[in-house]
A and B are shown apart, each in its own frame.
Chain A
């Protein structure tokens, strides 16, 4: 066995660390200042929502009728709404709804998109043409309109909103993964996999997919942010999640009629959404740079 010490060149042997691809990517990702800020912020927001019962000074539906429409003060840090409910507490609890909405819709949409896109990209030919044409039709309605239509049809509520948002995210995922697979399709390892008689299923999902997964991760990360915004917009226009659920968009919808008199009811929920989405986008940008082979040095 040749060890590094046995070489007589005198060059200090480099220790080969065992690092997983994931860890390596994460390390590269947090190198940029933007991505680092984004990751920390996002982690804080997620933790705050998860531990909302411990942090929140009041319950999400606890009313303090002596302090209705209170502006920010020491007892109510972000003020209260028309029923005297503490805005900070509602935002903390609302994060659970908004974050899980964004996450599940983005993941669900990407999942369906990846399956359809892999089939299109790998099989090619008529299957591909048919699928891509269907996607053209599917996306001829801009995402938000499709969401409005579907939530109008399905009705309001958490799960229907997830479904509506996910449906809107599918075509983009399909296009992206197909384009990636087209690039990979002629590579030798696929030929090798075919030569050793792997099933089509195994080639598609075990050999091909891991090689095209990075742009999808980036898309999904960015998608979470976009979905949170869209979910908020849906709730705001009266579809999507309904008050009194403290989802962030629903809080905005709640406060919309008091915008001129009590702007804090609009300002803080929106600011929360903006900061969360900003954190996610910064993370996504960092992830993209980390996964981009052109930028690897």
Chain B
């Protein structure tokens, strides 16, 4: 097991380095000169050249890449934002709590409601409860989450006036963003849980448990759920990735100054250190969560453990 963990950790380092390389390279080969863009069209060529020199843009590709990797990973320094002049890392840390509050709460909602609805639908297979739950789930998978968010603003903020439309302040400002970030995930989880429940429904051990006269609730709790929930663990990772990916859009709809909105603003201002920093940050976050999920899965599923101990 220790060997498995070690190997996964080493591999994670490679992934993160590879991602950093991709991010840097994509931006490096982006057409257009950021120095020119920052100074505007009227700048003299000498001014542009000066700025390029101060920003280090006149160095060769490999030198810049090496510098970026060294500073990001050894010194945890993502550089200074070109637009605001403050360190990107500090800015990310300042904004992180807001993104985390939304992400983690949405994740909790995802899991609890996703599992409950999935179990509910799965144990009522082909009855109206099942069709209704799955129908609603389908609607929320299909509707774009940012549009649902906009419609909620219209309803709860503009028409009813129950909740603030955007910005940050007290806890009430987070209610709509959290729900919007969670809705699609809940629907996906519910569908997944339902199908894995239906799969174990027909297993022999469930029939055995029923035939020995066990109460149906005990069959569900003791025999079906532990087996059905195994694949659900992997969804946690996917769910996190979904929430991370949705953060820029949700934060932009609700004007929440989190990491996602920072990234979007950086993209529109062509603030390269800020783009690199925030994207790398998201990638790091996702990779770590995926790693934890994989380890938990290996820990819970005896088959993976066995597979690994057999290998020499």
Interface residues of A (CB under 8 A from B): 34, 133-134, 136-138, 140-145, 148-150, 152-155, 225, 229, 232-233, 236-239, 252, 256, 259-260, 263, 266-267, 270, 273-275, 277-278, 280-282, 285
* A-B residue pairs in contact (CB < 8 Å), sample of 29: A34-B138, A140-B15, A140-B16, A141-B19, A141-B282, A142-B241, A142-B286, A145-B244, A145-B248, A149-B27, A152-B275, A232-B144, A233-B146, A236-B146, A236-B249, A238-B268, A252-B146, A259-B150, A259-B154, A259-B158, A260-B153, A266-B150, A270-B143, A270-B144, A270-B147, A273-B143, A274-B147, A277-B142, A282-B138
Q: Are B142 and A281 interface neighbours, CB within 8 A?
A: yes
Q: Are A142 and B150 interface neighbours, CB within 8 A?
A: no
Q: Are B282 and A281 interface neighbours, CB within 8 A?
A: no
**Are A237 and B138 CB-contacts (below 8 A) given A142-B242, A142-B286, A259-B153?**
no
Contacts of B290 in A (CB 8 A): 140
Contacts of B143 in A (CB 8 A): 270, 273-274, 277-278
Q: Which of A136, A259, A285 contacts B15 (CB 8 A)?
A: A136
**Are A252 and B138 CB-contacts (below 8 A) given A145-B244, A145-B248, A260-B158?**
no
List CB contacts (< 8 Å) of B125-158 with chain A.
Answer: 138-139, 141-144, 146-148, 150-151, 153-154, 157-158
State A27–B144 Cα separation when bound (angstroms). Answer: 30
Q: Are A274 and B142 interface neighbours, CB within 8 A?
A: yes
**Are A273 and B144 CB-contacts (below 8 A) given A141-B286, A260-B165?**
yes
Contacts of A233 in B (CB 8 A): 144, 146, 249
CB nearest to B276 among chain A residues: A149
**Are A153 and B154 CB-contacts (below 8 A) given A142-B241, A252-B147?**
no
State A134–B244 Cα separation when bound (angstroms). Answer: 21
Do most interface residues of chain A lie in helix, strand or loop, or is the interface mixed? helix
Interface residues of B (CB under 8 A from A): 11, 14-16, 18-19, 22-23, 26-27, 29-31, 138-139, 141-144, 146-148, 150-151, 153-154, 157-158, 165, 241-242, 244-246, 248-249, 252, 263-264, 267-268, 275, 279, 282-283, 286-287, 290
- Sort A-B residue pairs by CB-CB distance and give the 6 closest, nearest first: A270-B147, A142-B245, A137-B18, A144-B245, A278-B142, A274-B143
Contacts of B15 in A (CB 8 A): 136-137, 140
Contacts of A141 in B (CB 8 A): 19, 22-23, 279, 282-283, 286
- For the complex formed, measure the closest distance between the CB of A148 and the CB atoms of chain B, giving whole angstroms: 6
State A136–B267 Cα separation when bound (angstroms). Answer: 25
Contacts of A256 in B (CB 8 A): 150
Q: Are A152 and B146 interface neighbours, CB within 8 A?
A: no
Contacts of B151 in A (CB 8 A): 263, 266-267, 270
State A277–B139 Cα separation when bound (angstroms). Answer: 9
Q: Are B22 and A137 interface neighbours, CB within 8 A?
A: yes
Contacts of B279 in A (CB 8 A): 141, 145, 149
State A259–B242 Cα separation when bound (angstroms). Answer: 26
**Are A278 and B138 CB-contacts (below 8 A) given A142-B241, A145-B282, A260-B154?**
yes
CB nearest to A255 among chain B residues: B150
Q: Which of A137, A153, A274 contacts B139 (CB 8 A)?
A: A274
Q: Which of A142, A150, A238, A273 contacts B147 (CB 8 A)?
A: A273
Q: Are B248 and A148 interface neighbours, CB within 8 A?
A: yes
- For the complex formed, measure the closest distance between the CB of B61 and the CB atoms of chain A, giving whole angstroms: 15
- For the complex formed, measure the closest distance between the CB of A268 and the CB atoms of chain B, giving whole angstroms: 11
- For the complex formed, measure the closest distance between the CB of B125 and the CB atoms of chain A, giving whole angstroms: 14
Q: Are B287 and A140 interface neighbours, CB within 8 A?
A: yes
State A100–B31 Cα separation when bound (angstroms). Answer: 26
